[in-house]
Amino acid sequence: MTDIPGYALLGRIQTPDELRQLPADELPALAVEMRRYLIETLGRIGGHFAANLGTVELSLALHYCLDTPHDRIVWDVGHQAYPHKMLTGRRARLETIRRLGGLAPFCLRAESEYDTFGVGHSSTSISAAAGMAAAARLKEETRRVVAVIGDGGMTAGMAFEALNHAGHLGLDMLVIYNDNDMSISENVGALRDHSARLMQKLGMKAPHAARAPRAAHNEAHLDHPGAMFETFGFRYSGPVDGHDLPALMQALDGLKNARGPQLLHVVTVKGKGFAPAEADPIKYHGITQFDPVTGAFPAKKSESAPTYTQVFGDWLCRAAERDRLVVGITPAMREGSGLVQFAQRFPARYFDVGIAEQHAVTLAAGLACEGMKPVCAIYSTFLQRGYDQLIHDVAIQNLPVLFAIDRGGLVGADGATHHGSFDLSYLRCIPNLVVMAPSDENECRRMLSTGLTLAQPSAVRYPRGNGIGLVPEHEARPLAVGKGRIVREAHGRRRPRVAILAFGAMVQPALEAAEILDAVVADMRFVKPLDAELILELANENDLLVTIEDNVRLGGAGSGVNEVLVAQHHTVPVLNLGLPDQFVEHGTREELLAQAGLDTAGILRAIQKRLRSRDLDEAKRGSTGG
Ligand SMILES: Cc1ncc(C[n+]2csc(CCOP(=O)(O)OP(=O)(O)O)c2C)c(N)n1
């Protein structure tokens, strides 16, 4: 019995067990229904899209040929795992994906026994699968372990570390190399070039036809297409057409009981089966709503303020116009980090290094050693990958690398794996590093310009989303390092007197709350070095200091303010507001900020509650009643 009209097969399949009851010759028809379901659902709600159209057959073949969940499938990133979610009891809830309380954006162990490993960041699958295969060996359990990793995911050092180790151990595991020649933007790297030449040689047109590979140093390599993987101890097979179900299942059946490390090269098309997405997989990587027939997106709302990402991208182009030493680096996030224009205008000074954050940071360090001015554009959450490089390669050597850190704070629908919740904590403890957080787009430009003038490393950390709509200042004048500014004075003499010390994106809601409280507001600008003079001045003049940041409270900017006060034996009461000591899930940014009490109403609530508490009684008694 189908439970959704129009989906005769899909409506009958709730679990992989039910899938495995279907005759194999019905699977192509099921694939057609799954694609239609994805297009209709995601057209309504948005989400990761093109990669999922590419994994429909792969997901079907894996669950059909393997005995899941006993056998383990480890998806890399998990943005391409929607078909897997659909086949493992979550199809009806797909329309809740990425929403508050809904299905998780990526794979999540707590969500399903079929999600064997939690993901969101890329290139972890081979390591995790190796761990599972090693556990099976130690526990003498018979189970197959399969990692599914894209050609983008394969550009990371971690993937190679895992191949090297798993090959050495001779683990019984299969790596599926899902090669669609795309990362979010075009994939880059020598491995990609090799693969593209191989496809040309084999006459496998799509998807490599559009972009010529770099000229080969040695065409003979193409006679041994899997040589690199073989060197790592993996037996290479393929390439196989990842949309040809019988071929795919034959390959999997042939490999599933093979001993030792295996790698199957599967060629897929990103956006498969939906013409607009096949034609422009970058645009359809992650989408908002669209028309499921034409692929058209709703008209953009009229002139909103530019995003911080755009502000950065424009600033970088201007900086590069003026100074030939400025170079831009991205670990595979050209679109997300606002570097499209820079890449077009300054191709020789643009480095997309692949999904290789560690390499991105140390590459920047090397460039800085030679007098270049590297600007490393990186999401807060992904800089976590390059943390030792930031300390060891950049900060210890005091190299002038500027980090443009996008997506600081809560990012919304991508959830716990992607929030930039920790950067202020993990940055402010690093010596030599200047850390700035802009409260509006002009401040962002000025901070970026400040960073470029410094003879030491610096970071400008800005949020996802739009600025506040200011007219751009003509000149982005550098700021005095370590100096904050008062952006609102108190009008009356109401007591207890409150001063809010706000960081970055929290300055705006702080200003709104301060209107009601008649509080002083300082835009602290610098998380490091903190403006100790301003902090002490505010401590002397007020009865309560409130710090606000969209970073975890633990070890964040507010902790820095506390440290300044303690060092001076100052006992002014302090309220630290920030993200809680727990992982924040997915939802809209507004919903999540409200949940964390970091919207205007939440800030007001927290301050008013604190004002009612005992230790401020003395200040209240001194009140003039104003
Ligand atoms: C460590 C890390 N850096 C960056 C990203 C952002 N990201 C998500 S998907 C993706 C591209 C992945 O390409 P690929 O593995 O080939 O999968 P495809 O989308 O082509 O199917 C990137 C760069 C990430 N998830 N993790």
- Is residue 270 among the annotated active site residues? yes
pLDDT digits (tens, 9 = 90+) for 20-79: 999 999 999 999 999 999 999 999 999 999 999 999 999 999 999 999 999 999 999 999
**DSSP symbol at 504:** G
Question: What local confidence, expressed as pLDDT, does residue 194 receive?
Answer: 87
pLDDT digits (tens, 9 = 90+) for 489-530: 998 777 899 999 999 999 999 999 999 999 999 999 999 999
Averaged pLDDT score across all residues of the chain: 95
Give the phi and the psi of residue 460 in degrees, each rounded to 5: -110, 120
CA dist., res. 399 & res. 454, Å (int)? 10
CATH class of residue range 10-282: alpha beta
pLDDT digits (tens, 9 = 90+) for 168-216: 999 999 999 999 999 999 999 999 988 888 888 888 765 655 677 776 6
Looking at the predicted structure, is the pLDDT value of residue 414 above 60? Answer: yes
Name the burial class of residue 492, with classes exposed (0-12), middle (13-18) and buried (19+) by CB atoms within 10 angstroms of its CB: exposed
Question: What local confidence, expressed as pLDDT, does residue 623 receive?
Answer: 47
pLDDT digits (tens, 9 = 90+) for 342-361: 999 999 999 999 999 999 99
**DSSP symbol at 466:** B
Instruction: Report the nearest-CA residue for atom 26 of ligand 1.
Output: 121
Separation of CA 506 and ligand 1 centre (Å): 30
- Mean pLDDT, residues 477-496: 93
Q: Does ligand 1 lie within 6 Å of residue 152's CB atom?
A: yes
Residue 458 amino acid letter: S
Q: Does ligand 1 lie within 6 Å of residue 79's CB atom?
A: yes
Reduced to 3 states (helix: H, G, I; strand: E, B; else coil), residue 292 is coil
Greatest mean pLDDT among 286-295, 446-455, 463-472, 606-615 lies in 446-455
- Tokens in use for 558? 């507010």
Reduced to 3 states (helix: H, G, I; strand: E, B; else coil), residue 552 is strand
Q: Does ligand 1 lie within 6 Å of residue 225's CB atom?
A: no
Looking at the predicted structure, is the pLDDT value of residue 461 above 90? Answer: yes
Looking at the predicted structure, is the pLDDT value of residue 164 above 70? Answer: yes
Name the burial class of residue 215, with classes exposed (0-12), middle (13-18) and buried (19+) by CB atoms within 10 angstroms of its CB: exposed
- Mean pLDDT, residues 151-177: 98
Question: What local confidence, expressed as pLDDT, does residue 589 receive?
Answer: 96
- Is residue 300 among the annotated active site residues? no
Whole-angstrom CA distances from 270 to 99, 156, 181, 288, 470 are: 24, 20, 8, 17, 39
Number of neighbouring beta carbons within 10 Å of residue 457: 28
Residue ranges of the chain that CATH labels 3.40.50.920: 486-621
- Mean pLDDT, residues 392-410: 98
Q: Are 394 and 361 in contact (CB under 8 A)?
A: yes
Residue ranges of the chain that CATH labels 3.40.50.970: 10-282, 308-463
Ranges of H-type helices in 257-356 = 275-279, 308-322, 340-345
Question: What local confidence, expressed as pLDDT, does residue 624 receive?
Answer: 43
CA dist., res. 475 & res. 449, Å (int)? 10
- Tokens in use for 279? 């034609």
CA dist., res. 151 & res. 351, Å (int)? 18
- Ligand 1 atom at minimal distance to the Cα of residue 187: 16
- Mean pLDDT, residues 8-18: 96
CATH number of 308-463: 3.40.50.970
Q: Does ligand 1 lie within 6 Å of residue 183's CB atom?
A: yes
CA dist., res. 520 & res. 412, Å (int)? 30
Domain topology for 486-621: Rossmann fold (3.40.50)
- Ligand 1 atom at minimal distance to the Cα of residue 80: 21
Question: What local confidence, expressed as pLDDT, does residue 262 receive?
Answer: 98
- Is residue 385 among the annotated active site residues? yes
